[in-house]
Amino acid sequence: MAVIETKNLTYTYPGGTKPSISDVSIKVEKGEFVLITGPSGCGKTTLCRCFNGLIPHFYQGELKGEITVAEMDATKHPTYEMAKHVGLVFQNPENQLFALSIEKDVAFGLENLGFPREEMRKRVDWALNLTGIYDLRERSPYEVSGGQQQRVAIAAVLAMQPEIIVLDEPTSFLDPLSAEKIFEVIHELNKKLGITVVLVEHRLDLTAKYANHIIIMDEGKVCFDGETREVLSTEEARLIGVGIPKATLLYQMLKRDGMTLSNVTPLSSDEITTLLLEALKPDDRS
């Protein structure tokens, strides 16, 4: 069952001369972990904003085509309704947190929705625990690190218990170690709770291994859309200029130069190591 579906989606920002996205038709199934990537300016951020109605309601502009999210026509429902089903986490951790204490921030969405206090308390504690920041709940957002701030943002979205979580380059401002931790949290949410994850990222090295579906965009259009391993092993994907994981590149280079390796394209250093150990270990056969 498709939880996000778009047909020929085209959008131009107000005052824009050409569309930021054109003819985007994609389908995301329930429970998938989708990676959306592409060079800067390819339209991935614009696409994210369509998923929860920020486009067209907040941004105005011209939106053409169809978009259905969580069985709702995103153009016909206000963002505060969409927010119950689609959570959006943005790039800059600092600019998503407004309250003076972290748990109040996590409760923000629930307060807006008018939840009763006991229910809010339960959900806030649940979200804080899932993201591993329960101990930080009484601190101020300014006092914690960028990685922790992003976890607060994720918890804040999680508390509303949406079916889909969209994350727009959530680790841009974070160091690789914190980024890895964030991706692990997201992966857990996808695996354990079955939440559909849409992740916009450049760092394919760290994320490709989690995704079962990848969409590569360039200049507003979808260029590749399919299973991660299949798409990333094509030559064309590399030519677009996305950061193909080094493990995948190395694998392709070795195969091209004649090395016999299994046909399963690796997406992470662990996966290629397994293949290499197979290929390079001396035979045990007598």
Partner 1 sequence: MSVFDGLKFRKVYSPIHNLDPRMKFIYVCAVFVAAIIFGELLPLIALFLMQIPFVLLAGVQREWLRSLRGAVFLAAIIFFTNFIFSFIGAGYVVLAANVEYAAAMTLRFVVLVESFSVFFLTTSPDHLGLALEQTRVPYEFSFAFTTAVRFVPVLAEEAQTIMDAQKARGLELEKGNFLKRIRNYVPVLIPLIVSAIRRSLELAEAMESRAWGATKKRTNLYALKLHRGDFALLAITIGVLVVSIYVRLYVHVPTLSQFL
Partner 2 sequence: MIEVEEVNFTYPNGVEALKNVSLVIKNGEFIAIMGQNGAGKTTLVKHFNGLLKPSKGTIRVDGVETTKTSVAALARTVGFVFQNPDHQLFSETVEEEIAFALKNFGFEEEAIQKRVTWALNLLGLTQYRKTSPFMLSGGERKRVALASVLAWDPQILILDEPTIGQDYQQKEKLRQFIVQMQTQRKTVVIVTHDVEFVAECNPRVVLMKEGKIVADGEGKEILTNLEALAQSSIVLPQIAQIFKQLTPLGLPKNIIDIYEAKDMLLRTWRKGENERF
Judged by CB, which is closer to partner 1: 56, or 243?
A: 56
Residue 241 binds which entry of partner 1, partner 2, none, CB below 5-8 Å type-dependent: partner 2
User: Cα(98)–Cα(107) distance, rounded to whole angstroms?
Assistant: 11
Chain centre distance of CA 171: 10
166: β partners: 88, 198
The 222-241 contact track toward partner 2, x by CB under 8 A, reads -------------------x
167: β partners: 89, 199
User: Cα(57)–Cα(78) distance, rounded to whole angstroms?
Assistant: 7
Q: In whole angstroms, how close is the CB of 283 to partner 2 at the nearest point?
A: 6
Q: CA distances (Å), 119 to each of 86, 113, 133, 208, in order?
A: 20, 12, 19, 36
Yes or no: say if 183 and 210 are a contact pair by the CB < 8 Å rule.
yes
Side chain identity at 274, as an amino acid letter?
T
Q: In whole angstroms, how close is the CB of 142 to partner 2 at the nearest point?
A: 14
Judged by CB, which is closer to partner 2: 56, or 243?
A: 243
Judged by CB, which is closer to partner 2: 192, or 285?
A: 285
User: Cα(113)–Cα(123) distance, rounded to whole angstroms?
Assistant: 13
Yes or no: say if 149 and 156 are a contact pair by the CB < 8 Å rule.
no
Residue 280 sits in the site that holds partner 2 (CB under 8 A): yes
Burial of 196 (0-12, 13-18, 19+ CB in 10 A): buried
Residue 259 binds which entry of partner 1, partner 2, none, CB below 5-8 Å type-dependent: partner 2
Residue 101 binds which entry of partner 1, partner 2, none, CB below 5-8 Å type-dependent: partner 1
- Taken as a whole, the chain contains a residue count of 286
Judged by CB, which is closer to partner 2: 61, or 65?
A: 61
Residue 110 binds which entry of partner 1, partner 2, none, CB below 5-8 Å type-dependent: partner 1
**DSSP, res 135:** G
Residue 273 binds which entry of partner 1, partner 2, none, CB below 5-8 Å type-dependent: partner 2
Interface with partner 2 (CB under 8 A), residue total 40
Among 35, 158, 211, 272, binds partner 2 (CB under 8 A): 272
Nearest to 151 by CA among 109, 102, 104: 102
- Residues within window 47-106 making contact with partner 2, judged by CB under 8 A: 91
Judged by CB, which is closer to partner 1: 48, or 275?
A: 48
Judged by CB, which is closer to partner 2: 31, or 243?
A: 243
User: Cα(265)–Cα(161) distance, rounded to whole angstroms?
Assistant: 35
| Helices 146-158 + 176-193 axis angle, to 10 | 20
Which listed range, 6-14, 46-54, 104-112, 170-178, lies at the site for partner 2 (CB under 8 A)?
170-178
Residues near partner 2 (CB under 8 A) are: 38-41, 91, 145-146, 169, 172-173, 175-177, 180, 202, 205, 241-243, 245-247, 249-250, 253-254, 257-259, 269-270, 272-273, 276-277, 279-283
